[in-house]
Amino acid sequence: CFNDFDPELPYPVKEERMKRREEELAIKSKRNQSPSRRLLHMDPEEKKRCPPADIYQMLEINCRFKGRIQDLLKGLREINKNKKDIESRYAPLKRDLKQVKPTKLYKALKGDQVDEMFGNLINAKGLGIPINRIGNGKYTFGTRQILAKIINGKL
């Protein structure tokens, strides 16, 4: 985005940028202890292409791009506001998704072989589906009815 404005910038502004970059590189190289430190230098041809450092020209350039910059900043603020709204709206859902919920185990009636075998089968599969017992060998899953019997020792 800022590269659009680069040809319009006067030489002193570019020179100041170069100094700041050199300082940042010096700080980074001290941190990293890297021997290959690269300094940016502006060649004389580029200096000729730069517009003169007239204060009135700087003001003109400022006036020309001020509206666009303000529009970009306004859009950025709006985007950040929308991002915060969305994050706050969906924070509880994210929190719930991060928590691992244990599956509910089916509790069989003791003494009822059909119910115990059915409970063992459901719990072995690790399915957390809501199954209700209606009677001996009769269960409901949602709106469906399930009939279970033991034949030759198998459910």
Give the residue numbers spanning the domain of 146: 102-155
Q: What is the pTM of this model?
A: 0.37
Structure-token pair, residue 128? 């957390």
Length of the chain: 155
Question: Both 84 and 144 in a single domain?
Answer: no
Q: Which of 51, 72, 98 is the last residue before a domain boundary?
A: 98
Among candidates 39, 12, 15, which has minimal Cα distance to 25?
39
pLDDT digits (tens, 9 = 90+) for 53-81: 677 777 888 888 888 989 999 999 999 99
Question: Beta strands 131-135 and 144-147: pairing type?
Answer: unpaired
Question: Both 62 and 87 in a single domain?
Answer: yes
Q: Which of 60, 78, 98 is the last residue before a domain boundary?
A: 98
Question: Both 73 and 141 in a single domain?
Answer: no
Structure-token pair, residue 73? 């900043």
Res. 85 pLDDT band, cuts 50 70 90 = very high
Res. 34 pLDDT band, cuts 50 70 90 = very low
Question: Both 110 and 91 in a single domain?
Answer: no
